[in-house]
Copies of this chain bind each other. A is one copy, B any other.
Amino acid sequence: MDIVIGKGKIARRAYGIDEIALVPGNCTLDPSLAQTNWTIGGIERNIPIIASAMDGVVDVKMAVLLSELGAIGVLNLEGIQTRYEDPYPILDRIVSVGTSKFVGLMQELYAKPIDPELIKKRIIDIKAKGSIAAVSLTPAGASQYGQIVAEAGADLLFVQATVVSTDHFSPKSINSLDLSRFCQEMPMPVILGNCVTYEVALNLMKAGAASILVGIGPGAACTSRGVLGVGVPQATAIADCAAARDEYYQKTGDYIPVIADGGVITGGDICKCVACGADAVMIGSPIARSIEAPGRGYHWGMATPSPVLPRGTRINVGSTGTIKEILTGPARLDDGTHNLLGALKTSMGTLGAKNIKDMQQVEVVIAPSLLTEGKVYQKAQQLGMGK
């Protein structure tokens, strides 16, 4: 299984979700019988979908809507929402600036300091609607604002960076976050990520993660692989981290759900993530396409406003339907981006999977979606290119 790249350099072949497909088994199921519920940090949800902590994806209103629909929306506590009392004029500027000035504007807008009072206010506003207050901080932010988030009564805290580890070296001047102690001290469940390997996944679970986020580099608005060369194709990353989850569960009896984060565009992508072993998915662009999304049809990555090394592109994803249509239908589009829950249930029915645990066991084939000449021709025609 080891592949020799060159003398002394061995590598393993990793697989992306674009390279796999799911194989129907011997029985099928009426989609209405497919159970999609899952539990994170003691909270049960009917929809195994979490909206990413991105400024174009989740604001207070979206968090409330998602909570009511049976899903979860995570609010980014280090973005526009906690730097500006009224974030909407800022979002207007982000959305309307030209491509050439976008990065500079983002760097300027995100230079404004975070206001701890706004952290509290946003959490309280979500709680006031009876919704699940799921929020996100970077490790550095967690170190600084963790206490405030705890006091404001957040239900779930996502501590998230491109790559996290339990073994982080930093200059003495920087107060590095001890993930293990942090998980212990916080009153609410803490979700940690992102990671892509069996070992790190296991380490994060041992550190006390209520769930882990799996995925480095696969997402549309993220360019980790281009900028940093870093990434593991998602099918392999999910399967490896799911193996860590199962191992940890066998040893401790604690089931730490695995959330596949990044690269999901269609309902089929969700199905394939679960089939590789995920308990739920975190998605950005599919939610950014909802009419209610704060990005108003635009989507951009969390590393975009970095003052020295911006990563991630602003993409015009368009507004194609309501968040309800996108999550639970009825679909108004036929390309797999609407009624994501319906797609999951239909796929489970097709595959004979009664619940998420069944779905994690379905047969997978390697089925590269290689672009053939014919497909390029067809696609070019659909795009209105050529004659």
- Give the interface of A toward B (CB within 8 A): 1, 3-9, 11-16, 18-30, 32-33, 103-104, 107, 162-171, 174, 176, 195-200, 203, 216-217, 220, 223-233, 235-240, 242-244, 246, 265-272, 275-277, 304, 306-313, 315-316, 329-336, 339, 342-343, 346-347, 350-352, 363-387
Q: Report B-chain residues with C-beta under 8 Å of the C-beta of A228.
A: 22, 267-268, 271, 336, 343, 346-347, 350
Cβ-defined contact, B226 with A266, below 8 A: yes
A229 and B331 form a contact (CB under 8 A): no
Which of B24, B107, B227, B329 makes the CB contact (< 8 A) with A309? B329
Are A276 and B315 within 8 A (Cβ)? no
A156 CB to nearest B CB, Å: 24
Contact B374 A371 (CB under 8 A): no
Q: A5-B15, A24-B200, A29-B169 are in contact. Are A307 and B336 (CB under 8 A)?
A: no
Interface centre among A14, A166, A267, A270, by most B CB within 10 Å? A14
Q: Which of B16, B22, B220, B246 contacts A230 (CB 8 A)?
A: B22
Number of copies of this protein chain within its complex: 4
The answer to whether B381 and A24 touch across the interface, beta carbons within 8 angstroms, is no
B-side contacts of A332, CB under 8 Å: 103-104
Q: In the complex, A157 Cα to B51 Cα: how many Å?
A: 46
Partner of A386, one of B174, B363, B385: B385
Answer whether A336 and B11 are a contact pair too, CB < 8 Å, given A21-B231, A24-B200. Answer: no
Q: Flag if A330 contacts B342 (CB, 8 Å).
A: no
Given A268-B230, A347-B230, A386-B384, decide whether A240 and B6 contact each other with a Cβ distance below 8 A: yes
Assess A227 versus B268: contact at CB under 8 Å? Given A9-B276, A167-B28.
yes
B12 engages A223 (CB within 8 Å): no
Contact A334 B275 (CB under 8 A): no
Taking A236-B6, A346-B309, A370-B19 as contacts, is the C-beta distance between A26 and B165 under 8 angstroms? yes
Least CB distance from A137 to B in Å reads 17
Is B220 a contact of A378 with CB atoms below 8 Å?
yes
B268 touches A229 (CB 8 A): yes
Instruction: Give the docked Cα–Cα distance between A163 and B62 (Å).
Output: 36
Which residue among A1, A6, A246 has the maximum number of chain B CB atoms within 10 Å of its CB? A6
Bound-state Cα–Cα, A30 to B176, Å: 9
**Contact with A1, one of B4, B12, B164, B329 (Cβ below 8 angstroms):** B4
Given that A18-B372, A369-B372 are known contacts, is A275 also in contact with B6, CB under 8 Å in the complex?
Answer: no
Roughly how many angstroms separate A333 CA and B310 CA in the complex, as a whole number? 7
Question: CB distance B7 to A239 under 8 Å?
Answer: yes
Partner among B203, B226, B307, B376 whose Cβ is within 8 Å of the Cβ of A330: B307
- The reply to whether B169 and A276 contact each other, CB–CB distance below 8 Å, is no
The answer on a CB contact under 8 Å between B231 and A316 is: no
- Additional A-B contacts beyond A311-B334, A312-B334 (16; CB < 8 A): A5-B15, A5-B236, A5-B276, A8-B277, A11-B364, A16-B367, A18-B372, A24-B197, A26-B203, A29-B169, A103-B333, A223-B334, A231-B367, A265-B374, A311-B336, A371-B376
